[in-house]
Amino acid sequence: MTARAPLKPLDEALAQLLAAVVPLDAVESVATLDADGRVLAQDVISALHVPPQDNSSMDGYALRCADVAQAGTVLSQSQRIAAGMAAQPLEAGTLARIFTGAPLPPGADAVVMQEDCTVLETGEGGLPQVRVNAVAHAGQWIRRAGEDVSRGAVVLARGIRLGPAELGQAAGVGMDTLRVMRRPRVALFSTGDELVMPGACAPEDMPPGAIYNSNRFFLVALLRRLGCQVTDLGIVPDQRAATVEALATAARTHDVIVTSGGVSVGEEDHIKPAVQQLGSLDLWQIAIKPGKPFAHGRIGQAHFVGLPGNPVSSFVTFLLLVRPLLIKLQGAVDSGLHGVPTRADFDWGRPDKRQEFLRVRRNARGGLDLFPNQSSGVLTSLVWGDGLVNLPPGQVIAQGDLVSYVSFSELLT
């Protein structure tokens, strides 16, 4: 009897997986308004200063500091400048009414906010008189030209995933379109004769042993969040020929094939032999809990990823292994798992040989609570929890210990 190969540690499996990924080279232009979540294909370089000229950061009065030697000095208002207006040079011994975002008039070197000024009766020549009740300091309440962005600066670097702030930055330097990587084309299907689609059968009419296909729904959502074009191939019967046909069809027009279920070692698990018949299988079974039955290979030019059928295992292995694959495929850089040391407000006395990922939730005391049922089939634990404890092999946890906490909010963006 052939000895079973040892399970591969997560770090080694991820390194091997990513070494096999070559980023897509197809690039397209999209409207900046439509680029949320896309990966930038080229640097965005500013053609102008932001702000384009010195401007006021307050509603108030622009003046020369030399004209206000002491608090209480009265000056005449010589002009009024609102945002979008052109400013005239400031006459000596006068001040200019100015509003937030308005350009600073040449000659002015400070802005005094309106709360520190008093408007007096109109003086000679019909000009408003303003008492400045505070001594001005050079540069106060002035935003300098280019203090946000200098002309020629790289404001967004190639390979970042664009979010709301990045889109605003791009628009702020005049970019109405952006060059982004093509979306990965991902085919998804589930295997298992026990699976039933919601809506196809009422709960009271479910056959013995049947379950609703929950994995399909969260996997489609996860793939779309990562910017993928998803082809949902539904449920494939537990038959070798049907599995081979589904894989071969998907491989012809997709960059990645993701399957759920059928990657264990049972007689009804046809994924492994089907992939080996059509291509190669490079990774098989990872030393993590939940999620041991994970597979990666190639069918033609397409990456194959086989996820476990148990929903928590499928969800966790997607976050740990498929997410980095898809991020690299789009030419982006994955920052990896950033565990934050956080106090455990629970005991965990069942060490495992594998690296474990426990479902937890932050509490009002600044610690972590543990979901009571850590079974790989309990999807409720993911709904209740807001992250995972990354627990090295063979370790236990006692209340008060600092553990490595990884937030779902980091992994789901």
Q: Could you report the per-residue pLDDT of 349-398, keeping only the tens digit for each? A: 999 999 999 999 999 999 999 999 999 999 999 999 999 999 999 999 99
pTM for the structure as a whole: 0.86
pLDDT of amino acid 321: 95
pLDDT of amino acid 3: 53
pLDDT of amino acid 2: 47
Q: Give bridge partners of residue 387 from the DSSP assignment.
A: 360, 407
The whole-angstrom separation of Cα 86 and Cα 91 is 15
Domain residue spans of the chain:
10-25+182-329, 27-50+147-181, 55-143, 340-411
pLDDT digits (tens, 9 = 90+) for 40-76: 999 999 999 999 999 999 999 999 999 999 999 999 9
Type of residue at 148: D
Residue 91, C-beta contacts closer than 8 angstroms, at least 6 positions apart:
78, 107
pLDDT of amino acid 338: 87
**H or E segment and range at residue 297:** strand 295-299
Asked if the 10-25+182-329 domain carries CATH number 3.30.750.24, the reply is: no
Q: How far is C-alpha 45 from the chain's CA centre?
A: 22
How many Cα atoms within 13 Å fall on the side-chain side of residue 197? 11
Class of CATH domain 340-411: mainly beta
Reading the block at residue 361, the tokens are 């939730």
C-alpha to C-alpha distances, 118 to 75, 77, 112, 280, nearest whole angstrom: 11, 12, 11, 80
Residue 163 has phi, psi (to 5 degrees) of -125, -175
Asked if the 55-143 domain carries CATH number 3.65.10.10, the reply is: no
Ranges in the chain, pLDDT < 70 = 1-4, 123-125, 263-269, 335
| 3-state secondary structure at position 173 | coil
pLDDT of amino acid 194: 86
The whole-angstrom separation of Cα 359 and Cα 298 is 32
Reading the block at residue 44, the tokens are 């965005």
Identical fold, 27-50+147-181 and 340-411: no
The whole-angstrom separation of Cα 97 and Cα 82 is 8
pLDDT of amino acid 1: 42
Q: Give bridge partners of residue 50 from the DSSP assignment.
A: 149
**Alpha helical stretches, state H, 42-190:** 164-172
CATH number for 27-50+147-181 (one of 3.40.50.150, 3.90.105.10, 3.40.600.10, 3.50.50.60): it is 3.90.105.10
Reading the block at residue 384, the tokens are 């209740």
- Beta strand 177-181 with 295-299: parallel, antiparallel or unpaired? unpaired
Q: How many residues does the chain have?
A: 413
